[in-house]
Structure 1
Amino acid sequence: MVSADPTSIAGKTFPLRGRFDHLVIGAGEAGIAAARAAAASGAKTLLVDEHPLDPGLFGLDIPYLFGARFDAAIGNAARMEERVVAARPDLIAAMEDGVEVALGTAAWGGFVKAAASHVFPTPVIGLADREAAWLVACDRVTLAIGARDVVLPFPGWTLPGVMGARGFDALLRLYGAFSGRRIAVLGSDALAEGVVTSARAAGLEVVLRLAAPTPLCIAGREEVTGLAWQDGATWRDIACDTVVMAVDTVPMVDLPELLGCAIAWDTARGSFVPAGQGPVTVVGDAAGTAPAARDAWLRLALAEDHALVCACEEVTAGDLRALRPPRYLEAAGPEAGLAALGTLNQDQVKRLTRAGMGPCQGRRCRESVHALLSRDRPAPLASYRAPLRPLPLSVLAALEEDPALRANWTGWFGIAAQWLPHWEPVPENPEFIGGRLSGEDVVK
C-alpha cells in the first residue's frame, strides 16, 4: 500500500476566517450594487475594498499613479476611513441591507479549482489588512476592482507631481488629500474632461489642457515645476506643480486571471478585457473601459531610445528594443534585438530585461512594454502571481497554516535533493547524478 504524500496539500485543511455565499471585491458603485443585490437574495455577503490604503502603497503608486501628490492626512487611518465612507454613502445602505463590509482590506490572491489545483471545492480568496493576512471561502465572487492609470513615459514622468486620472480622483474626491494647486492635463476624452471639471470645482487652477499628442517634457529637479510642449515649430512652457495623465485607463485584470477568467485583447478598447467564468463575475470598469486614443501618445513617448519605460528597474525603450540585460550584468543583448524573439512574449522580455519586475509590479510600465512588443499584432498578456499587493512579511507571517502543512514545509514538492534547509551544511564538492544531489549531504 502506497502511503499518502505528506508534502501534498490534497486533503489538508485550509484555515479560513470565514465562509460566504457571495464575496464582492471593490466598493465602488458597481461593487456596492452587486453586494446589495446579493444580500437582497438572502446570500451571506462580504464586501471588501482596499481603500483606505496603507500609506506605503501611495508611494509605490498602487493601485493608481498617485505621483506623490498627497498630503500628510493619508497617515490618519481613522480619518481616511471616514472620508471613504462619506464619499460612498451607499456603503451605509449596504450595511443596513445586511452586507458585511471590510474597508482597508486588499485581495492579494485567489485560488480556484483548475487543472493544476484540484483541492479547492469553492473559490478561496486571500485577504489582508495592515495587521494580518487570511483566507476566506465563498460560493460566488464578483470582481468590481476597477481600472488603473496608463502611464506615458515622457521625459520627467517620474518626478513627484506627475499622476494619473484615477490617482487624481482618489486623492481629491475619496481622500481629500490632494496637495497640488496648479495642474496641467493631458488627454482629449471624457476622462480628461472629468479631471478638468473636478479640479475647477475644487478651486484648483487648470493652467493647460493638451488634447492632441505632441512632444513634451516635464520640468523640475526634485518635483514638477512646469511643462514644456511643442506647438508646431515652437516650444512653449508653463509653470505648474502637477501634470495629470488622463489619456486612458485599463481594466485591472490581475485577480480575474488568478481566478481563471478568460482574458482577451479587445481591439475596440485597446486593452485586455476579462470575462466572468464559472463562479466569478466581473462588473464595472474591470469588465472594460471606454476606448481612448492612447496609442498615438504612447508611440510619441516611446519614439526615443532614452525614454524611461520601467522606472523601478531603470529600463529604457532602447534597452527593450535591444533586449539589453540589466546593466549590472554588463552584457549585450542579441544583435537582432526584439526581432530575435520570434513570437513576442511579455513575460520573456520581463525576464531578459527586468522591465516590470520592480516594486510597482509593472503597473506603471505594462502598457508601454506591450506597445513596444505589439508591432504587428497584440503581444500576449503578461502573467500575474500572488501576492498582487506588496505585503509586509509580518502580515504574511500571520497567515494561519494547517499543522500538517507546517510540519512538511522543508520538503518543497517532496524533491529533497533540490533544496537544502538553512541548518544543513553546503556540500563542498556536490555531484549531481540524474538531476539528484549525491553524497551524504542529501536532505533526507
Structure 2
Amino acid sequence: MAEPDPTSIAGKAFPLRDAFDHVVVGAGEAGIAAARAAAAAGEKTLLVDEHPLDPGLFGLDIPYLFGARFDAAIQNADRMEERIVAARPTLMAAMEEGVQVALGTAAWGGFMKGQASRTLPKPLLGLADREAAWLVTFDRLTIATGARDVVLPFPGWTLPGVMGARGFDAALRLYGAFNGRRIAVLGGDALAAQVIATARNAGLDVVAHRETPTPLRIEGREEVTGLSWLDRAGWRDVACDTVIMAVDTVPMVDLPDLLGCTIRWDAAFGGFVPQGSGAIAIVGDAAGTAPAARLAWLDAAFAEDHALVCACEDVTAGDLRALRPPRYLDAAGPQAGLGALGLLNQDQVKRLTRAGMGPCQGRRCRESVHALLSRDGVAPLASHRAPLRPLPLSVLAALEEDPALRANWTGWFGIAAQWLPHWEPAPEDAEYIGGRLSGEDVVK
C-alpha cells in the first residue's frame, strides 16, 4: 500500500473558530432579512459584513469607487460602527432575535468539496477582521454582498473626487463621512435619479447632470475642480468638487465564483450574475441589478486610444486593443491585436498587458476591459482567487494551522527545489521532511 502524500490535506484538521447552521455574508436589507429568517427557523446564524472597512481599503476603492472623497472620521472604527448600526436599524432587531453579528469582518475565501479538495468534511468560509483571519464551517450560506460601481475611463477619472454611485451612498449615508459639496452626476437611469435625490436631501448642490453619453473631461490637477462636456454648442464646463459615475452597477460575483457557483452572462441583470445551488443562496443585488446603457457610455470613454483603462498598471485602451506588453518590459512593438486572436479570456489579457493586475484587483477596470474584449461576442468571466480582499500579512499569520499542515505547506506539490536559487539545482536525494529541505549538498 502506497504511503500517503505528506503534502495532501487528506486526514488533516482545519482549526475552526466556530460552526454554524447558516452564515449570511452582507448586512444590507436582503442579508439582514435572510439572517433573521434563519434565526427564526432555529438555525445557529452568523451575519458578517465588511463595513466598517479598514481605512486602507477606502484608498484602494474596495469594494466601491470612493474616490478619496471622505473625511478623517473613517479612521475611528468604533465611531463608524455606531454610524453603520444607526443607518441599518434592523441590525439591532437581528441581534435581539439571536443572530450573531460580526461587523468589520470580510469573507476573504471559501472552500467547498470539489476536484481539488475532495477531503473537506464540510464547506469552509475564510473570515478576517483587522486583527486576525479564521475559518468557520456552515451548512447553508446566503450571499448578499450587493453590487459594485462601474467605472467610466473618461479623462480625469483617477482624480480624487470621482466616485461611483455605491461609493457615494456608502460615504454619505452609511459612514456619514462624505466631504464634498458641489456634485456633477453622470447617468440617465434610475441609479442616477437616486443619487441626485439622495444628494439633494442631504443639502448638497447638484450642479450638473449628464444623462446621455458624450465626450467629456473631468477637470483638475490634484483633485476634481470641474466637469467639461461637448454638446451642439461646443464645449461647456461647470465647477464642482465631485463627479459621481451613476451609469451602472454590477453584482459582486467574486465569492460565488470562488465557491464554484454557476456564473452566467445576462445583460438584462447587470452582466455576469451568479446562480445559487445546493447549500448556497444568492439574494439582493448580488443576484442581479437593473439593466443600464453601460456600453454606450464606455464607447464614449474609449473614443481615444490614450484613454487610461487600468490606472494601477498604466494600461490604455490602445494598449489593450494592440495587446501591448507593459512598457517597463521594453518589449518590441505591438502584438497581433484583439481582432486577430479571436475571443480572449480576460485572464489571458491580464497576463499579456497586466490590465487588472494592480492593487485594486481589477475592480476599477474589469468592466472596461471586458467591454473591449467583447466586440465579437461575450468574453469569459475573469477568475477570482482567495484572498478576495487585500489582507495584511499579520492578519493571515494569525490564522492557526494544524501542525501536520504547517509541516508541509512550504513544499509546493512536494517540489524539493522550490526555494533554491535557479542556478543551484537540487541534488537527486533532496526531499522535504517536516517542511524543511534535506540533502547533504543543500543544507549547510
TM-score, shorter chain, exceeding 0.5: yes
Q: In the alignment, which residue of structure 1 is the partner of 2:195?
A: 195
Q: In the alignment, which residue of structure 2 is the partner of 1:328?
A: 328
Q: In the alignment, which residue of structure 2 is the partner of 1:48?
A: 48
Q: Does 1:260 align with 2:260?
A: yes
- Cα distance change, pair 112–185 in 1 and its aligned pair in 2 (3 A): same
Q: Does 1:300 align with 2:300?
A: yes
Q: Distance in 2 between matches of 1:420 and 1:246?
A: 48
Q: In the alignment, which residue of structure 2 is the partner of 1:288?
A: 288
Q: In the alignment, which residue of structure 2 is the partner of 1:396?
A: 396
Alignment check: 8 A CA contact 1:269 1:292 kept: no
Listed one character per residue, the Cα deviations across residues 293-329 of structure 1 (whole Å, up to 9, x for unaligned) are 1110001101210000000000000010110111110
> 1:68-79 maps to which residues of 2 (within 5 A)?
68-79=68-79
- Cα distance change, pair 430–172 in 1 and its aligned pair in 2 (3 A): same
Alignment check: 8 A CA contact 1:260 1:277 kept: no
Alignment check: 8 A CA contact 2:270 2:288 kept: no
SS in 1 for 2:272: strand
Q: Distance in 1 between matches of 2:361 and 2:396?
A: 18
How many angstroms does 1:230 deviate by?
A: 0.6
Alpha-carbon RMSD across the aligned residues, in angstroms, is 1.8
- Cα distance change, pair 190–432 in 1 and its aligned pair in 2 (3 A): farther
How many angstroms does 1:427 deviate by?
A: 7.1
> 1:295-444 maps to which residues of 2 (within 5 A)?
295-332=295-332, 334-417=334-417, 419-420=418-419, 426=421, 428=423, 430=425, 441=441
Structure 2 stretches lacking a partner, 5+ long: 432-438
Q: In the alignment, which residue of structure 1 is the partner of 2:27?
A: 27
Q: Distance in 2 between matches of 1:427 and 1:202?
A: 60
Listed one character per residue, the Cα deviations across residues 234-265 of structure 1 (whole Å, up to 9, x for unaligned) are 10000000000000000000000011110000
SS in 2 for 1:70: coil
Alignment check: 8 A CA contact 2:426 2:442 kept: no
Q: Distance in 2 between matches of 1:232 and 1:219?
A: 20
Q: Distance in 1 between matches of 2:70 and 2:422?
A: 52
> 1:60-139 maps to which residues of 2 (within 5 A)?
60-139=60-139
Q: In the alignment, which residue of structure 1 is the partner of 2:242?
A: 242
- Cα distance change, pair 348–31 in 1 and its aligned pair in 2 (3 A): same
Letter in 2 for 1:194: Q
SS in 2 for 1:309: strand
| 4+ long deviations beyond 6 Å | none
Letter in 2 for 1:395: V
- Cα distance change, pair 290–432 in 1 and its aligned pair in 2 (3 A): farther
Q: Distance in 1 between matches of 2:350 and 2:305?
A: 18
Q: Distance in 1 between matches of 2:271 and 2:7?
A: 40
Q: Distance in 2 between matches of 1:55 and 1:183?
A: 23
Q: In the alignment, which residue of structure 1 is the partner of 2:436?
A: none
Letter in 2 for 1:51: H
Q: In the alignment, which residue of structure 1 is the partner of 2:435?
A: none
Listed one character per residue, the Cα deviations across residues 387-429 of structure 1 (whole Å, up to 9, x for unaligned) are 0000000001001101001112232211224x126xxxx4756
Structure 1 stretches lacking a partner, 5+ long: none
Listed one character per residue, the Cα deviations across residues 147-184 of structure 1 (whole Å, up to 9, x for unaligned) are 00000000000000000000000000000000000000
SS in 1 for 2:168: helix
Letter in 1 for 2:194: G
Normalising by structure 2, we get a TM-score of: 0.95
- Cα distance change, pair 238–427 in 1 and its aligned pair in 2 (3 A): closer
Normalising by structure 1, we get a TM-score of: 0.95
- Cα distance change, pair 66–326 in 1 and its aligned pair in 2 (3 A): same
Q: Distance in 2 between matches of 1:427 and 1:42?
A: 57
Letter in 2 for 1:191: L
Q: Distance in 2 between matches of 1:289 and 1:305?
A: 30
Q: Distance in 1 between matches of 2:13 and 2:163?
A: 44
- Cα distance change, pair 273–226 in 1 and its aligned pair in 2 (3 A): same
Q: Distance in 2 between matches of 1:246 and 1:203?
A: 19
Q: In the alignment, which residue of structure 2 is the partner of 1:172?
A: 172
Listed one character per residue, the Cα deviations across residues 254-299 of structure 1 (whole Å, up to 9, x for unaligned) are 0000111100000323510000022111000000000111110001
Alignment check: 8 A CA contact 1:23 1:142 kept: yes
Q: Distance in 2 between matches of 1:169 and 1:440?
A: 62
Q: In the alignment, which residue of structure 1 is the partner of 2:161?
A: 161
SS in 1 for 2:95: helix
How many angstroms does 1:119 deviate by?
A: 2.0
Q: Distance in 2 between matches of 1:232 and 1:385?
A: 47
Listed one character per residue, the Cα deviations across residues 42-69 of structure 1 (whole Å, up to 9, x for unaligned) are 0000000000000000000000000000
Q: Distance in 1 between matches of 2:270 and 2:197?
A: 25
How many angstroms does 1:338 deviate by?
A: 1.2
Listed one character per residue, the Cα deviations across residues 89-127 of structure 1 (whole Å, up to 9, x for unaligned) are 000000111000000000001110112211223220000
Q: Distance in 1 between matches of 2:424 and 2:209?
A: 66
SS in 1 for 2:338: helix
Alignment check: 8 A CA contact 1:324 1:332 kept: no
SS in 2 for 1:126: strand
Q: Distance in 1 between matches of 2:318 and 2:310?
A: 12
Letter in 2 for 1:420: W
Alignment check: 8 A CA contact 1:427 1:441 kept: no
Alignment check: 8 A CA contact 2:270 2:290 kept: no
Alignment check: 8 A CA contact 2:343 2:373 kept: no
